[in-house]
Amino acid sequence: MNVVILAAGMGKRMQSALPKVLHPLAGKPLLSHVIDTARSLAPSKLCVIYGHGGAAVLKLLELYNATHELPIAAAEQAQQLGTGHAVQQALPLLDDHVPTLILYGDVPLTSAVSLQHLVQAAGRDKLAILTVEQDDPFGLGRIVREDGAIVRIVEEKDATNTERAIREINSGIMVAPTVQLKKWLSALSNDNAQGEYYLTDIVAQAVADGVSVTSAQPGSVWEVAGVNSKVQLAQLERIHQNNIAQALLERGVTLLDPARIDVRGELICGRDVTIDVGCVFEGLVELGDGVRVGANNVLVNAKVAAGAHIKPFCHIEDAVVGASSVIGPYARLRPGTVLAEDVHVGNFVEVKNSQIAAHSKANHLAYIGDATIGSRVNVGAGTITCNYDGVNKFRTVIEDDAFIGSDSQLIAPVTVGKGATLGAGTTLSKDAPAGKLTISRAKQITIDGWTRPIKIAK
């Protein structure tokens, strides 16, 4: 099968410099949703018609072509002369021996299952159209039937009042035998209300040629919903998020409010996972058995092992949280953070590119960057690893059972030995030997007979 995706339109109503098909739905460009669904059907040829914002669209395609096997071809439609004209641009790239499926870059949520039904309905020699009944069909092409058989499609602007009353609409998505498609497209005229070459006019031609025209219906009406404005984009985002939330509930995840979770990527959950309101999951996030995620957390490409508890208001990105660990509230785990089992990272603690071994704690106000921390270490409040000299970064090593007194600065590269203790307020610029107390602090003195200054009379 060939797949052609129409993505040349400007999307004026989006009121944006970004081409319409690149606006994100669930964190992914609309066009990527369509490409990913198309690819799941394993087509032999996949072609995207681009026009408005062409350079940005081509960049997205390049990204796909760099990382996937089936190449995506691109054909330019320099002027948007209509949907039929758009498909024409792809014709030289299509394989004649297999049917062609036409998709829209701004219709992101069509399921692969619905498309498979359509492809089956078309077989090798029929024209098949994905249609739905709509309460308010305004603006869409209507399916005109005679004795139940589809005879043509009429656009809103060209329709008579009787035709406008038809509620079965053209989703735009169709499958056609490729040789005939080529013939029909070359015979299109733009003699209509919009002066455009309508793809929909191939239907009447198929009927005239004695090719049967059939239809298939998607599982849900939103599968054929297009995005023309930010209003429609927001509506579709809610529909999509609701679908994701329902799927999570069905798999046994507890969502305190399924209307207040956003998944922009893939969220994999073990058994008995609980997610409170206001959480955002981006990229690939894995939550192990029994993980609890408190309110208002953002997790990006993160792995959280069984039994861990993420308290409210944390930001976790490219990080691994070990089993039974407790994070937050208000913690930030930056890329390269790997926490082992039962690690506690508390409020206003930032960890970056650091490994913290089992049972260690940094519970209050700390910066841990480029550090390797052993087991059962206690990092006191206000501890800072000074990892950066303005040019280069250096590592801090803190060995097992060390105790870092509050408000210490560890000037990397530096090592705190096994079981060492740093006195509060230490500025550590040389290694601290294992098992000993190291302290750098001006000696405390008390001045006898000192009095507070007195305000001078003016």
- Which spans of this chain sit near ligand UD1 (rule: CB under 6 A)? 6-9, 49, 77, 80-83, 85-86, 104-106, 140-141, 153, 155, 169-172, 198-200, 226
Cβ of residue 331: shortest distance to ligand UD1, in angstroms? Answer: 43
Nearer to ligand UD1, 145 or 395 (CB): 145
Residue 254's φ and ψ, nearest 5 degrees, are -90, 120
33 is catalytic: no
Nearer to ligand UD1, 81 or 151 (CB): 81
Max CA-CA distance within the chain? Answer: 113
Nearer to ligand UD1, 141 or 322 (CB): 141
Decide: 388 and 367 in contact? Cβ < 8 Å.
no
CA distance 80 to 455: 81
* Continuous H helices in 229-299: 230-250
Nearer to ligand UD1, 155 or 350 (CB): 155
Cβ of residue 94: shortest distance to ligand UD1, in angstroms? Answer: 16
Beta strand extents in 99-177 (DSSP E only): 100-104, 127-133, 142-146, 149-154, 168-176
Judged by DSSP in three states, 451 sits in coil
Structure tokens at 23: 């606006």
Nearer to ligand UD1, 80 or 243 (CB): 80
Q: How far is CA 134 from CA 147, 170, 225, 265, 287, in A?
A: 20, 10, 11, 30, 40
Sign, Cα dihedral of 218, 219, 221, 223: negative
Q: How far is CA 231 from CA 22, 134, 198, 320, in A?
A: 16, 19, 26, 37
Cβ of residue 121: shortest distance to ligand UD1, in angstroms? Answer: 18
Cβ of residue 163: shortest distance to ligand UD1, in angstroms? Answer: 12
Nearer to ligand UD1, 13 or 436 (CB): 13
Nearer to ligand UD1, 22 or 140 (CB): 140
Residue (of 46, 47, 57) closest to 10 by Cα position: 57
Judged by DSSP in three states, 44 sits in coil
Nearer to ligand UD1, 134 or 440 (CB): 134
Decide: 369 and 352 in contact? Cβ < 8 Å.
yes
Cβ of residue 360: shortest distance to ligand UD1, in angstroms? Answer: 54
Residue 283 host element (H or E): strand 279-287
CA distance 88 to 442: 81
Q: Which of 52, 117, 315, 364 is catalytic?
A: 364
Structure tokens at 324: 């039974």
Nearer to ligand UD1, 9 or 369 (CB): 9
- The residue with its CB nearest to ligand UD1 is 141
Omega prior to 413 cis, within 30 of 0 = yes
Cβ of residue 201: shortest distance to ligand UD1, in angstroms? Answer: 8
Cβ of residue 134: shortest distance to ligand UD1, in angstroms? Answer: 10
Judged by DSSP in three states, 97 sits in coil
CA distance 249 to 20: 32
Residue 378 host element (H or E): strand 378-379
CA distance 344 to 369: 16
Question: Residue 448: is it exposed, middle or buried by C-beta count within 10 angstroms (0-12/13-18/19+)?
Answer: exposed
Residue (of 30, 69, 66, 23) closest to 48 by Cα position: 30
Cβ of residue 153: shortest distance to ligand UD1, in angstroms? Answer: 6
Cβ of residue 225: shortest distance to ligand UD1, in angstroms? Answer: 9
Residue 185 host element (H or E): helix 178-186
Residues known to be catalytic: 364
